[in-house]
Chains A and B, each alone.
Chain A
Amino acid sequence: MSLWQSLMQLLDPASGREDEPFSLGDDDGAPAAEQEGASRLMADAQLRAEGIMTHIDNLLEAQGTGKKGLEQAGDLSVSLKENTERMKATFRMPENMDLIVREITVATQPPTPAAVFFMEGLADKTNLNRDILGPLMLLSHLDHHQDGEGDAGPTTFTISTVVKRLLPGHQVTEKHDLEAITDSLLSGDSVLFFEGSSTALAVETKGFPMRSVGEPKTEKVIQGPHDAFVEAFRVNVSLVRRRLKDPRVITKVLTVGQISKTYVAVLWIDGIATPKLVAEVKRRIEAVNVDIVGGAGILEQYIEDNPSSLLPGMLTTERPDRVAAYLSEGHVAVFVDNSPQALICPITFWSLLQTAEDYYLRFPFGSILRFVRMAALLVALLVPALYIAVVNYHPEMIPTELMLFVASTRENVPLPAVVELVLMDLAFELIREAGTRIPSVIGSTIGLVASLILGQAAVEAKIVSPLLILIVALTGLASFAIPNYMTSFGVRSLRFMLVGAATVLGFYGVAAALFIMTVHLAAMQSFGVPFLSPVAPSRGGLSDVLGRGPLFRMEMRPGYTHPLDRRRQGEIIRTWDPKAGPAAEKGGNS
């Protein structure tokens, strides 16, 4: 439309008024949409009724074939055409284009018409061609010397023959009702219907696009393995299993979500994890009755103990080695399909401050790392609040020269110290949030530039004092040193609360807030385990909590998980070490 035309239209009263803009809520005065909705419901009901009718027919037919026959009697018809129609109707074909139907003839004696169903994009086409279409269409007429009877010629058609001799797919299951078939189709299997048979075969051809195993994003280590979970839970489970080659490792797969039908895998080691814990985890997961569960972070919110607490109730990790280590201590791990994180429960406060690397380093350094992190936690939590308390309430605490220096830097700043601090802290949070969302190529540069220039400019503009920049930067740095992402969020929010308390009542407010926080932490539980254990209540074995003792001394699993078997390793591991003492020879292999 040229400019002239649009001008004309504006000036022309005859062009009429514009159409109403689109709105979802209006019914446009026409009941068509509603009617369409109703008709769809009708079609659905009809489909279901048909299924039930066939089911009853099958049941009647199966009468007398014994219990097994009754179980196998599903709602499938013997007619291939009927089954195909019903499948198409279920998947809303032809409007829906994801379900592909390939009609073939199996070259058996007699040739049997069949149909292969699979979902575009979910099934692996190479597999499909090589292991299903090829054998059934081309090779099934060959002489298979069935049962050693010597009858030459093409094979006669039965389902069991197909399963046993004709389908080289590695995982083939017989399906008898439509719902099961739908499920397996949607998870990437290919389903075969045969003329004259009320049994369908589902062949495993899962092959959706998937990221390969990569580096951890948030839990980087310098020493130690660099593999991380991906979005496919099967791969994740296998990554863990590779580290725990024990038949007692159990993977229980549950399905959660009415629409998403997300697989949730619960992992534990039978004989170590206490059955009470496993039962509780399963109970909580089974109780989740929602439409979709998008990932681990969402499932966590449904099943954790204290949803309103600022600290997480479960440990989120993307490292298979951590999951393996926790499983071996009697914890339970939960994998959610489509989510590259595993959830570990129960957890304690201290595990939020630990990383995998603590264990890969020799023990003094592991301990040092943990102390540094503990200090970082305190700095991130307390330093801004203490600064406010000292500067506004107790200036006598600063050595006089330093106090006079701080005062001299504050001379030109018109804002109260708290406002200064909160402003700078907000700016820092802004940089952090922007840094996460900015495309990664420029992200780090922007973050650096923003923080440098902001700080410098704020000082030059006399909005903040230089010491304050130092404090905010130190705090920000310290909050990055907290390894757990959720914890660092919690600490940052608590920090603002403490600053508030310090502003109102100085040290008194800080102390009161800290007391309430401590009682809150002490009252928290994660799957029946007090959050602060094993420090309070003390359950022994502090060597792996605040610091990290030598690995060869950690003979017991932590007591707070109540493992069935407390002993982790023999009393003396380094039996060859003369320093292990005379008991070494005796105790070594007991």
Chain B
Amino acid sequence: MQLKRAACLLLALVTLFVATGCWDRRELEETGFVLALGVDKGEQSRYAITAMIAIPAKMAGGGKGGGGGGKDKPVLQTTVEAPTIAGAISLIDSYLDRRVSLLHTKALFMAEDLARESGLNTMDEFVRFRQARRTIFYIVTKGKAAAFLKKMDVQQEKDPQRFIEQMTYNSRATAMIPAASQIQQFVTSVNTGYTQPITYYAAIKDEGEAQAAVPKPEQVAAGDFAAGDLPRKGGPNLELFGAAAFRRDRMVGVLTGEEVRYVLLLQDQFQRGYFNIADPRAPGKYVSLDVRRGRPMTIAVDLTGDRPRLDIVVSLEGEILAMQPGIDYTEPEFQPRLEAAAAAEIRRGMRGLVQKTQEWNTDVIGFGSHVVRQFPTVAAWESFKWPEHYQDANVRVEVRMTLRRFGVQLSPPKAAR
């Protein structure tokens, strides 16, 4: 009796589910996974949206396409004009057999001109739309995003999204790109206003094309250039370097690699990086330092005067990687000179950065999150209007550099003397 009842119930359930179908069930091979999106200004519509969709059979088909990439690209690319991303997706769905899904989208490439003009309208979709997630990388491209995606040739990796993801880890090693640039950070920065967003800045380097601005030697030494201007030949044609600085949701300028490094230093997010410091004892030559973060940065905020005043102390530790023959900085009497020279150079760079951002009037460094601690309530903070006050702020930086290690060898080779 009980068994019969259970069987009836089971039958009813099964019928219920079978009759109504499995709503959200979708097989992998019926789905077109968008790996990256590119957004440009559209001609007929507001945006021209480019989707890079994976072709799994080519992606893991077993090494025949490897190496050059070129023709046998494991992705297909298509561009549609649409006012929204969801609109673009439904349009793509209409001419692609597989249903397009943003679940695996890793990166959003936004054309620079669009970023400088457009507002949060596209961003809101990434916050609200379920498929897209806030962990998507936000990358501003120099030039058209569609062209960027098309030309992108990542030589080592088969799969471009993996290349991008790996690239973002470089922040920890080189400190020349922002610590993070996901939609989440962007949206939160815009919403809270404690700090202004910066994002990755990328460009495609065409070997044939003549370089617009050739960096000077000291710029090369410091990394004072942005994506597209890297002094290099060969390798993948994609460059992810420097950063795009925003004021609220509009892009206002490009930060060079060196400047990003100072942003990270002042955000206390700097991990380590190699610095080339002009040798104080041998003009025109460089000492190579591996700089790490020392004690936590301290920042004192004083709002009593008519200009907000910020006193910042940054302490760093250095390891000498290379010095010029004959000039031995391992000896105690010369160490302070090198330390002072390095500190002065970093300080000069930071001041340059602060000046530049004050001109743009955008607090990408995030001094606001220190200033806010001075206010007891939200009302008081909001009436102060920090984002407008940033350009008036008097920022003083002190850099303390300590040499800790000297590589695997003490003095430079004698023979070279």
Contact = CB atoms under 8 A, between A and B. Distances in A.
A and B, one complex? yes
A218 B27 CA distance: 41
A406 B28 contact: yes
Given A400-B161, A401-B162, A408-B59, A395 B25 contact: no
A416 B61 contact: no
A403 interface: yes
A408 B25 contact: no
B385 interface: no
Of A308, A396, A504, most B-chain CB atoms within 10 Å: A504
A396 B162 CA distance: 15
Contacts of A393: 24-26
17 contacts: A395-B28, A395-B31, A395-B33, A395-B104, A396-B133, A400-B161, A404-B33, A404-B159, A405-B56, A407-B33, A407-B56, A410-B28, A411-B29, A416-B27, A417-B28, A503-B22, A503-B25
B247 interface: no
Interface string A299-315: 00000000010000000
Nearest to A402: B60
A392 to B, nearest CB: 5
Given A395-B103, A395-B104, A396-B103, A404 B54 contact: yes
Interface in A141-165: none
B2 A308 contact: yes
A506 interface: yes
B401 interface: no
Interface residues of B, number: 27
A133 interface: no
Given A308-B2, A400-B33, A417-B28, 17 more contacts: A392-B25, A393-B26, A395-B31, A395-B104, A396-B103, A400-B104, A400-B162, A404-B54, A405-B56, A405-B59, A407-B33, A407-B54, A408-B61, A411-B57, A504-B22, A505-B22, A506-B25
Interface in B11-48: 17, 22, 24-29, 31, 33, 35
Pairs of residues from A and B, 3 with the lowest C-beta to C-beta distance, nearest first:
A407-B56, A396-B103, A408-B56
B198 to A, nearest CB: 26
A111 B218 CA distance: 134
A408 B29 CA distance: 8
Nearest to B159: A401
A411 B54 CA distance: 13
B3 interface: yes
A395 B26 CA distance: 9
Q: Is the interface of A mostly helix, strand, loop or mixed?
A: helix
B248 interface: no
A392 B28 CA distance: 7
B261 interface: no
B27 to A, nearest CB: 6
Contacts of A403: 28, 33, 104
B104 A396 contact: yes
A391 interface: yes
Nearest to A388: B25
Contacts of B205: none
B134 interface: no
Interface string B287-327: 00000000000000000000000000000000000000000
A393 B25 CA distance: 5
B106 interface: yes
Of A308, A411, A413, most B-chain CB atoms within 10 Å: A411
A392 B26 contact: yes
A400 B27 contact: no
Interface of A: 308, 391-393, 395-396, 400-401, 403-411, 413, 416-417, 503-506
A407 B30 CA distance: 9
Contacts of A416: 27
A20 B3 CA distance: 41
B162 A417 contact: no
Contacts of B29: 407, 410-411, 413
A198 B28 CA distance: 87
Given A416-B27, A506-B25, A400 B35 contact: yes
A291 to B, nearest CB: 23
Nearest to A417: B27
Contacts of B3: 308
A413 B57 CA distance: 12
B197 to A, nearest CB: 25
Nearest to A400: B104
A400 B106 CA distance: 9
B36 to A, nearest CB: 11
B168 to A, nearest CB: 14
A506 B27 contact: no
A55 B183 CA distance: 101
B27 A392 contact: yes
Nearest to B162: A401
Contacts of A504: 17, 22, 25
A392 B133 CA distance: 19
Contacts of B17: 504
Of B17, B106, B133, most A-chain CB atoms within 10 Å: B17
Interface string B129-161: 000010000000000000000000000000101
Of A400, A406, A410, most B-chain CB atoms within 10 Å: A400
Contacts of B56: 404-405, 407-408, 411
Contacts of A503: 22, 25
Contacts of A395: 28, 31, 33, 101, 103-104
A471 to B, nearest CB: 14
Interface string B152-181: 000000010110000000000000000000
Nearest to B21: A504
Given A308-B2, A396-B103, A504-B17, A404 B25 contact: no
Contacts of B106: 400
A501 to B, nearest CB: 10
A407 B28 contact: yes
B93 to A, nearest CB: 17
A521 B2 CA distance: 19
Interface string B46-72: 000000001011011100000000000
A505 B25 CA distance: 8
Of A392, A407, A409, most B-chain CB atoms within 10 Å: A407
Nearest to B74: A404
A401 B33 CA distance: 12
A6 B27 CA distance: 64
Contacts of B159: 400-401, 404
Nearest to B26: A392
A403 B104 CA distance: 9
